[in-house]
Amino acid sequence: MFGKNPIRKPLQGDGSSLEVVSIFPTLQGEGPYSGWPAIFIRLGGCNLACSFCDTEFETFTKIQLPEILAQVQAVHTNQKLIVITGGEPFRQPIAKLCEELLKLGYKVQIETNGTLFREIPPAVEIICSPKAASSIRPDLHERVTAFKFIISASNPEYNHVAVNTNKPIYVQPMDEYDINKNLRNIKYTRDLALEKGYNLSLQLHKIIGVE
């Protein structure tokens, strides 16, 4: 959306329906489960508007929970991982969705920007990708499985890791849609990982050409 999306407030409700952009099988391209066959549930709307965000999450439809689960099972082949992403998934009441996916035997991962949180089952793994000028909620921090920082060599708001934690940290070069900038970002992120002992994350899905 490149910062042009409307900033949407958190939704209330019991989670019996959710605003969904798409449900599709792919390979997880980032973070701890990079390379895993996965089913993505992309939810609509976000409470932030980041200038580098390349995801379309505003074309969404309200779908009842049983239909969401039916769509997941319809595309299931060998995937054991479900990734709930957005937009910002904690903008919506997702606890029931998580519960039902766990009952079906899936490993469930949520990708969040760290500014919102709702109580969800303890088995759900949370990957937090903090954004500049946004603080991570303390209640979320305790539940985070790993942090993923987007790194830019030229943007001072994104050229470092801004968290003090003993949890795993992944650093990922920002895609700025400029070959020279991206090459500098890759080198800078690689060197940062080597210097600080962080894990390097690349956008595998872009490299191999999947959504």
Contact 85, 40 (CB under 8 A): yes
Q: What is the CATH number of domain 17-208?
A: 3.20.20.70
- The reported pLDDT for the residue numbered 194 is 98
Chain segment 5-48, per-residue pLDDT in tens: 999 999 999 999 999 999 999 999 999 999 999 999 999 999 99
Alpha carbon distances (Å) from 67 to 21, 23, 86, 94: 13, 11, 18, 14
- The reported pLDDT for the residue numbered 1 is 66
Dist CA 188 CA 94 (whole Å)? 36
Average pLDDT value for residue range 57-82: 96
pLDDT bucket at 3, cuts 50 / 70 / 90:
confident
Average pLDDT value for residue range 84-91: 97
- The reported pLDDT for the residue numbered 57 is 96
- The reported pLDDT for the residue numbered 135 is 80
- The reported pLDDT for the residue numbered 133 is 66
Chain segment 106-139, per-residue pLDDT in tens: 999 999 999 999 999 999 999 999 988 678 899 9
pTM score = 0.95
Dist CA 183 CA 124 (whole Å)? 35
CB count within 10 Å of CB 31 equals 23
Considering only residues 136 and 100, tell me which one the structure prediction assigns the higher pLDDT.
100
| Selection from 102, 95, 110 nearest residue 80 by Cα | 102
